[in-house]
Amino acid sequence: MSETKEYYRDKVAVVTGGASGIGLALAETMLSYGAKRVILADFNDANLARETARLNTAYPDRTLGVLCNVTKEEDVQSMIRKAADFGAGRIDFLFNNAGAGFGGFFAELTNQDWEKAFALNFYGALYGIRAVLPIMKAQGGGHIVDIISGIAFYPMAYQTMYAATKAALNGLTLALRYEFWDDHIRFTSATPGTTATAIWSTGGVEAPPTAQTPAHSAQTILAGVAKNERLVLGDEGDASGARSCFNPDTAPSADEYLLDNARKRRSGQWVV
């Protein structure tokens, strides 16, 4: 644990989607580990104002809230400039965490739906990476963490947009890991595991009773990132999904599970 804390001590971190759920827990946990400055970037102004004030009471003057819609590249560029000012020129971490679930029947989805999903879950992160790379290159390194989902490895029916956007983000992240390795800029993909946050109610379903807390997810992610893992898996379900889904030896059981899941969902029973 002390090695994990050390990795964040005196560092400057940007967290998109930082006003709620896992992003907020990542920010709060890094502050508790001694991070010097944390920047919350979110488009929910009420949550942003409330949580920035709360964190600044607990950890005086170490948090900046920046109103930012990550689907707009100019917003992201401007947010990164403000973050670097607040960090006295440095940004050590970027957590591309803003995202949403995007479910629906494939046959009913329009190109606009697909564009909306990719704008948030994929391009939002790409804009963040593009904006922060020059700063990280100039300072000699940094760490970019893209929050994906277990669905990137275990694609479930009626969540085609979520599965495709998160798999695309994982591909982007892991390819960049080697493109920028020699520049000392690290890239990690991280799944939070099933976590009780507002994302479930936004999608019209309840989090399963077994869902972990955002603080638990944040601790797992931060520990894996501190070890420079290429892929952090947030719970045992994600770990077994990642192990088995593309393994030819386990293809029949993966098919059986995913087909059963699809049939249950079709009959109105939302299972994960």
Ligand X SMILES: NC(=O)c1ccc[n+]([C@@H]2O[C@H](COP(=O)([O-])OP(=O)(O)OC[C@H]3O[C@@H](n4cnc5c(N)ncnc54)[C@H](O)[C@@H]3O)[C@@H](O)[C@H]2O)c1
Of the candidate spans 13-21, 27-35, 105-113, 218-226, the one that interacts with ligand X by CB under 6 A turns out to be: 13-21
- The smaller minimum CB distance to ligand X, of residues 141 and 208, is found at 208
Q: Which of 13, 135, 199, 222 binds ligand X (CB under 6 A)?
A: 199
Cβ closest to ligand X, residue 31 vs residue 148: 148
Binders of ligand X among 207-266, rule CB under 6 A? none
Residue placing its CB nearer to ligand X in the complex, 11 or 166: 166
Query: Could you count the other beta carbons within 10 Å of the beta carbon of residue 76?
Result: 29
Among 97, 95, 87, 96, which residue's Cα sits nearest to residue 35? 87
Strand 142-147 versus strand 185-191 pairing type = parallel
d(CA 147, CA 99): 8
Residue 146: closest CA among 131, 167, 161, 160: 167
Residue 20 as a binder of ligand X (CB under 6 A): the answer is yes
Segment interacting with ligand X (CB under 6 A) among 126-134, 196-204, 246-254, 255-263 = 196-204
19, 83, 84, 132: which one contacts ligand X (CB under 6 A)?
A: 19
Phi and psi of 189, rounded to 5°?
-95, 140
Q: Enumerate residues 6+ apart whose C-beta is below 8 A from 175.
A: none
Measured from the CB of residue 46, what is the shortest distance to ligand X in angstroms? 10
Among 98, 129, 136, 156, binds ligand X (CB under 6 A): 98
Which residue matches tokens 């707009």? 72
Distance of alpha carbon 166 from alpha carbon 234, whole angstroms? 15
Binding site residues, ligand X, CB under 6 A: 16-17, 19-23, 42-44, 47, 68-71, 97-100, 120, 147, 149, 191-192, 194-195, 197-199, 202
Active-site positions read: 162
